[in-house]
Copies of this chain bind each other. A is one copy, B any other.
Amino acid sequence: MGYKIKSRIWIESDDNVLLGEGRVHLLKAIHETGSLSKGAKSLNISYKKAWGLLDSVNKSAKEPVTINSVGGKGGGGVQLTDYGKSLIETFDEINKNCWKFLDEQVAKFETL
């Protein structure tokens, strides 16, 4: 069995982290549940942690990634903007390309 190569990528904006794998997971969960608290629960992370992540995402993005409504019918909720949706799509695409690229490169280790 040979060596495996792994990677983690993230996007920064003005030295703040905008997107990483964890944040993308959270955004997807929010998209599916329509709520930050439910999304956090589905990922088994605390609401507080999820809230901090989402807050950080929105603060470092150039356009709003989510629209958060507080109060009202059902108590409120969180919805992804179109910009938010395209962000996670692009991230996933780049991530997959990166894995593919690295899988080709790792062969270099086998012949050492």
Contact = CB atoms under 8 A, between A and B. Distances in A.
Nearest to A108: B90
A9 interface: yes
Interface stretch (A25-33, A66-74, A92-100): A92-100
Interface in A46-104: 83, 86-87, 90, 93-94, 97-98, 101-102
Q: Find the residue from A18, A86, A112 having the highest chain B CB count within 10 A.
A: A112
**So how many copies of this chain end up in the complex?**
2
Interface in A1-33: 1, 3-14, 18
A44 interface: no
Interface of A: 1, 3-14, 18, 83, 86-87, 90, 93-94, 97-98, 101-102, 105-106, 108-109, 112
